[in-house]
Amino acid sequence: MIKTLNKFDLKNKRILIRVDFNVPLNHGRVTDDFRIRSALPTIDHCLNQGAGVVLMSHLGRPKGKVDKNLSLIPVGESLADLLEMPIKFSDDCVSEDARDTSLGISNGEVHLLENLRFYEEETANDLHFSMLLSKHGDVFINDAFGTAHRAHASNVGIVSHFKQKGMGLLMEKEYRFLKGSFDHPNRPVTLILGGAKIDTKLSLINRFLNKADTILIGGGMAFTFLKAKGKEVGNSLVDDGMIESARQIIQSSKESNVKVVLPLDFACAKNIDGKSEGVFSNRNIPSDMMGLDIGPKTISIFKQYIDQSNTILWNGPMGVFENEDFATGSKELAAKLAEVTEKGAITIVGGGDTAAAIRTFRFQNDVSHVSTGGGASLELLSGEFLPAFKALELT
Ligand code: AMP
């Protein structure tokens, strides 16, 4: 069992929290603060309990070198705005100055450390580096779900340096929804799959062939499945290397009695940045057209399946949602998920692009859970035991 945040006596302690502040930046400003907001419940809890808080995170891939463009300073500014209080910032995560600042913080204060990945020792899970990091706190809390599938110094190596360690409220929530919901699921279970790539979702699909009652497939990946069934898909995205895997998935779904539902129609264009040229049935997509969103008949059928489900997982957009012309499928399904959530269904949105899509349509607060992890959420949903959880469990 991993100790959860509310089991700790935090009063008068310094809490070192590994957060995931790996957020998009544009010209030195945070353009999407979803991950920062998601860490607030844990930070607020520690402050309200009378603790001082030290936060550490990575940002981007500076590959072990200081890169001013990947400084956490803009993140610190966003965080201070959200917390409505000033915070302390150190321009190095393991310097003596930084450690002195952590030692000197009072209860109710927050100290943010500079990007962990300015040191290559972070991703190398270097023990000396994790020992230096551990000097920042009395209690270690991991709340960085987005990196839970990596064994790095700040989330795995560091654990052995602490007697008091556990997971934060975000980690707990991610674990409860992405793992707990599917251990003994409330049936019927529907998996909605989309996006461009199949290979990254293969283990998820294989696991859900034993978990789901229905798998709805949209997005670019639908064409590889349609091709595997012998359909002509025009100029649509097809992953030739995955046609055989798609065929096997269709075969396995029949053996395990899982209904795989493919789109009947698509909104199409001549190229991926083009304007919609109309809706075509999956039987007659013209050779110069590519399907870029699921069409109205498909949306209606997918909605019927969602209506009949008690647990729904959505991973991968239904179309090129970044282009307004091809956002309808994803938007309509997001609205449907919000509706069934209200009626009591458990609705979970996998991280990455799907999380971005649901936030674009502003339904993120109307579903049960939107994951902050991309790769981490895929691995946890695929049934893997992630290194960050393993480290907190075993030691
Ligand atoms: P993935 O990382 O595999 O989940 O893919 C997400 C990307 O798939 C998004 O950026 C979408 O624009 C893209 N996508 C969704 N549907 C299609 C489609 N029909 N054709 C090409 N790309 C698509």
Give the pTM: 0.94
Q: Which two tokens stand for residue 129?
A: 């580096």
Domain 185-381 in CATH 3.40.640.10? The answer is no
| 98 ligand 1 Cβ < 6 A | no
pLDDT digits (tens, 9 = 90+) for 110-121: 999 999 999 999
Residue 373 bears catalytic tag:
no
Q: At 90, which amino acid appears?
A: S
Q: What is the CA radius of gyration of the chain?
A: 23
Q: At 107, which amino acid appears?
A: N
pLDDT of amino acid 351: 77
Helix ranges (DSSP H) in 84-201: 96-104, 120-123, 127-134, 169-175, 181-183
pLDDT digits (tens, 9 = 90+) for 35-81: 999 999 999 999 999 999 999 999 999 999 999 999 999 999 999 99
Of 195, 219, 352, 373, which is the active-site residue? 352
pLDDT of amino acid 395: 42
Of 35, 88, 117, 150, which is the active-site residue? 35
In the chain, list all ranges with CATH 3.40.50.1260: 5-172, 185-381
Residue 375 bears catalytic tag:
yes
DSSP string, 174-218: HHIIIIIHHHS--SSEEEEE-SS-SGGGHHHHHHHTTT-SEEEE-
- Residue of 202, 242, 320 with the most ligand 1 atoms within 8 Å of its CB, for mutation: 320
CATH node for 5-172: 3.40.50.1260
Residue 18 bears catalytic tag:
no
What phi and psi, each to the nearest 5 degrees, are found at residue 134? -65, -20
Spans of the chain, pLDDT less than 70: 394-395
Atom 18 of ligand 1: nearest residue by CA position: 220
